[in-house]
Amino acid sequence: MIEHYFGQPFLQFKLNKNLINKINKKMDEEILKNNYTNAVPFLSGKIKKEYRINHFFNEQEIAKDIFKNIVKYTEMYNFDTAFKLVEVILDSAWINDQKEGEYQIVHKHSGRLSIGLSAIIFLKIPNFGKEYTHEEQPMNGRTTLISNSGGLFNKSNYTINPSVGDMYVFPYDVQHVVYPFKGNGTRRSMSLNVDLYYKK
């Protein structure tokens, strides 16, 4: 686990290869069987292939390892010590199969509650292709997280260089953007939102 700060904290985890392979295999089977809900109408991305996966999230026993990391975040950071976390509930989960030229606009996530956490898990990473300019600072296919803080000398954003198996956990109100890339591969990622139920 790696802890990052840019005004708001977010955590980076590495999931095991067997779990990543299991998720990819299941998603590929669902696509072949046409057994999925099209998530495009519900999401902000400029991506043609986005799939809701709530229906198999628990089937594959992937929730255990993923939720363990989310709970770790709640243990490390508490937005108000007068409240105690009582339940973590999945609101939504989906997979994006991003192709050349596709991208995600600046957006943030939400669930049924206004208090919650989002996660991004990288499942497949292609060659992102040659940068148009400034090759020393590659942005093709990267995700940039944007903090809710500002001012001089403040680091207000963090660009993720994705690697298969990486999982990032951050609060609902952290905006983020995904840049397009060049090439024939598929950039596959899973996103999920979990609501945090607290009591005083």
Q: What is the CATH number of the domain that holds 13?
A: 2.60.120.620
Q: What is the pLDDT of residue 98?
A: 98
Identify the residue whose tokens are 């600072």.
137
Q: What is the pLDDT of residue 5?
A: 67
DSSP E strand boundaries for the chain? 2-5, 9-14, 37-38, 50-52, 84-98, 104-107, 116-124, 143-146, 157-160, 166-171, 175-178, 187-199
Backbone angle region of 7, left / alpha / beta, with phi > 0 → left and psi within -120 to 50 → alpha: left
β-bridge pairing 84-98 and 50-52: antiparallel
For residue 24, how far is the Cα from the chain centroid? Answer: 15
Domain hosting residue 25, numbered range: 2-199
Q: Report the alpha-carbon distance of residue 91 to residue 75 in Å, rounded.
A: 20
Give average pLDDT by consecutive 10-residue segment, the chain, 200 residues.
Answer: 80 95 94 90 92 81 85 86 87 96 95 94 97 92 89 83 97 95 96 92
Distance linking the first and last C-alpha atoms of the chain: 30
Quote the Cα angle for 171-199-190, to 5°: 30
Q: What is the pLDDT of residue 94?
A: 95
> Alpha carbon of 49 to those of 12, 78, 87, 160: distances in Å?
26, 36, 32, 22
Q: What is the pLDDT of residue 156?
A: 83
Residues 6+ apart with CB under 8 A from 181: 98, 100, 126, 128, 129, 140, 141, 187
Number of domains the chain is built from: 1
Determine which helix (DSSP H) or strand (DSSP E) holds 45, and give its type and residue range. none
Record the pTM. Answer: 0.93
